[in-house]
Amino acid sequence: VSPVGHTLPSNLNAVQREAVLYLSGPCLVLAGAGSGKTRVITQKMAYLLRECGYMGRQIVALTFTNKAAREMGERVKTLVDAKLAKGLIISTFHSLGVRFLREEAAHVGLKPQFSILDSTDALAIIQEMLATTDKARLRAVQQTISLWKNALMDPDAADRAAATPSEAEAAKIYRNYNATLEAYQSVDFDDLIRLPALLLQSNQAVRERWQARVQYLLVDEYQDTNECQYRLVQMLTGSRAMFTAVGDDDQAIYAWRGATVENLAKLTTDYENLKIVKLEQNYRSVQRILSAANAVISKNPNLFGKKLWSDLGVGEPIQVSAMDTDEVEAESIAIRISAERFERKAQWKDFAVLYRSNQQARVMEQALRNLRIPYTISGGQSFFDKAEIRDVLAYLRLISNDDDDPAFIRAVTTPRRGIGQVTLQTLGQFAAERQLSLFAALFEIGQTERLPAKQLEPLKVFGAFIQRIQERAGRRHSQQVAASAEPAGAILDDLLGAIQYERYLYDTLEERAAQSRWQNVLELLGWLKRKADEDELNLFELVQHVALVTMLERGDDDEPDAVKLSTLHASKGLEYPHVFLIGVEEGLLPHMGRDEEDGDPAKAAESLAARIQEERRLMYVGITRAQRTLHLTWCKKRRRAREDIVREPSRFIDEMGLSAIKMQEDPELQSLSPKQRLGMLKALLNKGAT
Ligand code: ATP
Ligand code: MG
């Protein structure tokens, strides 16, 4: 029996149903948090598959995070048979971009196995060109380039638009940076969307092919699209414009990445026949939470009037606690979660702790660990995505498969061994002409006059070094692994010693960062060796195994029963029964990290106002993640760079409307020592257990 009834769509209110059934043209669902926008998307996919004869591969649904994509996929799976859903693309904009570029690589001058640089890699390239160690300046240039890319401006346009000398310099670097990416056969994150959008725009054949393929497109969180994404959607759907976009202008939180909420308004002008559906019932939160959210967001000017109501009851009072320090904040929340889990007969995963800045996670993690409370973190970096882990894995990948150009690039340039951009560009061109991998090209380019001896030498040394390790690992000229292969563990140790990776870390980073990265490398090494011993794997098998694990970690894992720690940004679209919003202080939320650039004071004031509005939307996103209870905390003192800074509660607390809030100071918890707090926890646990 199918999990749903025969008539689709099910479990929808009249307005949601209208949005699902509408297939006469483009459709925009514009509605506040928790009103079922994402539900409309999943139900509409099910409707298209089950009732309208669409095939899985004709439907594409786009969203912003891997997690959101995964959740959406799971929701659809409960609505339709796996067979019907086959081929369905539910992905982030970025992974659709990867898929697109793999297929169309030749049209944009890439090999299908192009590599994807993360922002650390990209920053390193910029650093090389800018010849400065001023991190703030480097980031500013990177950010500017990113904004240009997202606005679909090429280096020429950027050059023309540059108004200040520093922008002109950034434009020059932009041109250079693109050339370097090309030489490396690499793209950055922005390119994953920009290149497909540009190619679709310029190449009619490609455009027609993709338009024939994408019969229906759905986009979640539309308010956070940037110019590139807007264009991509437009190009994929063409004049038939068979798409549904859902969004909430009050939840636009990516302006700093070039997203423009005007894209919502633009739809209404670009598509005359656009159907607009507004949802007003909130199915997520109790009334008190909703009222607080509405009160906060009403302080922002808004594009479209929206009102939300809920019939889930009034709910418990929202709590606001002032804490002495961030450590006390973290500890008392950990204790509270333990206690409430018993009192409410809830699970760990019913609790989420949300914060503005990633740095707040560390103290919170420590407190949870002390109490042995399981937790997961999102919005942070995965182990296998860390630069140092990828550095080491790049060597291993190259050793086992020397056609892996991205690995070659990473290994040959990390640590630096006197092989510069020009050398690599020449090698890259030579490899492209002869259709060779970079590694193979390195041996052949020596037969020509293409590189002067001084540039050739370090390449040859590197090539010989990799070959030596390949032989030790048991690989001769065939793919067969020789019986004389040395154990993987010994080879790994020698490899790290030979490239002097630890020294490289300490040479290029501050001591603490170097230390923590080296720790990670040792952890990886220990893990690899254990794996090699346990399963008797040779080095090549080991590398394949790692690739698999990496994929698994990034892929589908069951949600464990654990407290969720998340940045506000990463919590978008999700919901939790009990939410703790921490660090609700002036300076942190709203965040005041980046200083206004000095210059025109009127402009600075305007951008400050714009920033506060964006922070307010972030606050709105945070509040509306909560289903049943919401607890805000702020700290009177917060430690920053070994200094205690006195803090004030956020203006957003006032804006929530005090009548809905029960101010609570938690005096009992404040005055206790950590040990006393632990004792108190134990008492609570005992109470809960009986
Ligand atoms: P956000 O703006 O935060 O992304 P949203 O508008 O996408 O929110 P959903 O996540 O789709 O909202 O829905 C919020 C909650 O309400 C979900 O738990 C969903 O299952 C539930 N819900 C939505 N519509 C209905 C309905 N018609 N009947 C019952 N529950 C519903
Ligand atoms: Mg949603």
CA gyration radius, the chain: 27
Which whole-number Å values give the CA distances from 172 to 23, 157, 257, 361, in the listed order?
47, 11, 21, 38
Residue nearest to atom 27 of ligand 1 (CA): 12
pLDDT tier at 169, thresholds 50, 70, 90: very high
**CA of residue 553 relative to chain centroid, distance:** 14
Percent with pLDDT over 70 in the chain: 85
Please name which of 144, 81, 11, 77 lies closest in space to residue 597, comparing C-alpha atoms.
144
Whether the full predicted model's pTM is greater than 0.80, yes or no, is: no
251 catalytically annotated: yes
Give me the pLDDT at residue 678, please. Answer: 61
On whether the CB atoms of residues 546 and 396 are closer than 8 A, the answer is yes
Residue 669 pLDDT more than 90?
A: no
Q: Compute how many other C-beta atoms are within 10 angstroms of the C-beta atom of residue 422.
A: 11
Q: How far is CA 197 from CA 100, 191, 271, in A?
A: 10, 9, 19
pLDDT above 90 covers what percent of the chain?
48
CB-CB contact of 27 with 244 (8 Å): yes
Q: What is the mean pLDDT of residues 343-360?
A: 93
What per-residue confidence (pLDDT) applies to 601?
Answer: 61
Q: What is the pLDDT of residue 175?
A: 94
- Both tokens assigned to 608: 């400050």
Q: What is the mean pLDDT of residues 350-362?
A: 92
- Whether 221 is catalytic is yes
Looking at the DSSP bridge assignments, the partners of residue 116 are 187
Query: What's the confidence (pLDDT) of residue 615?
Result: 95
Quick one: pLDDT at residue 675? Answer: 64
Q: 193 with 229: CB under 8 angstroms?
A: yes
Question: Given pLDDT bands bounded at 50, 70 and 90, which one contains residue 551?
Answer: very low
CA-angle at 14, arms to 34 and 52, nearest 5° = 100
At residue 633 the predicted structure's pLDDT band, cuts being 50, 70 and 90, is very high
- Which residues does residue 91 pair with via DSSP β-bridges, in sequence order? 62
- Residue 298: CB atoms within 10 A of its CB come to 15
* pLDDT band, very low/low/confident/very high, at 593 (cuts 50, 70, 90): low
The per-type count for the chain, helices as H runs and strands as E runs, is: 29, 17
Write phi, then psi, for 467 (nearest 5 degrees): -60, -40
Ramachandran angles phi, psi of 63, nearest 5°: -145, -170
Tell me which DSSP letter residue 300 carries. S
Q: Which ligand is in closest contact with the Cα of 220?
A: 2
Residue 290 CA: which ligand is closest? 1
Mean pLDDT for the chain overall: 85
- Better pLDDT: 380 or 40: 40
Nearest residue to 20 (alpha-carbon basis) of 34, 30, 5, 10: 10
- Which has the higher per-residue pLDDT, 65 or 674? 65
Region 172-198: what's the mean pLDDT?
88
Residue 688: is its pLDDT beyond 50? no
Task: Tell me which of 8, 18, 38 to substitute to probe ligand 1's pocket, judged by most ligand atoms within 8 Å of the beta carbon.
Answer: 38
- N-term to C-term CA, the chain: 42
- In the block, tokens 């994509």 appear at 69
List C-alpha distances in Å: 238 to 89, 223, 245. 18, 20, 15
Tokens of 580: 């703790």
Judged by DSSP in three states, 265 sits in: helix
The band of 213, judged by pLDDT with boundaries at 50, 70 and 90, is very high
Q: Which of 116-120, 130-134, 275-279, 346-350 has the weakest average pLDDT?
A: 116-120
Residues 324/359, Cβ–Cβ less than 8 Å: no
Pairing of strands 275-279, 563-567: unpaired
Q: Name the catalytic one among 251, 414, 455, 627.
A: 251
Per residue in 594-630, pLDDT tens? Answer: 544 445 566 666 688 888 999 999 999 999 999 999 9
The rounded distance, in Å, linking the Cα atoms of 440 and 444 is 7
Give the H or E element holding residue 686. helix 674-689
The closest-lying atom of ligand 1 relative to the alpha carbon of residue 221 is 4
Give 108 or 115, the one with higher predicted confidence: 108
Q: Who lines ligand 1 at CB under 6 A?
A: 11-13, 16, 31, 33-39, 248, 251, 283-284, 573, 575, 624
Band of pLDDT at residue 386, cut at 50, 70 and 90: confident
Tell me which of 45, 282, 284 to substitute to probe ligand 1's pocket, judged by most ligand atoms within 8 Å of the beta carbon: 284
pLDDT of residue 53: 92
Other CB atoms within a 10 A radius of the CB of residue 49 amount to 25
pLDDT at 7: 55
626 labelled binding-site residue:
no
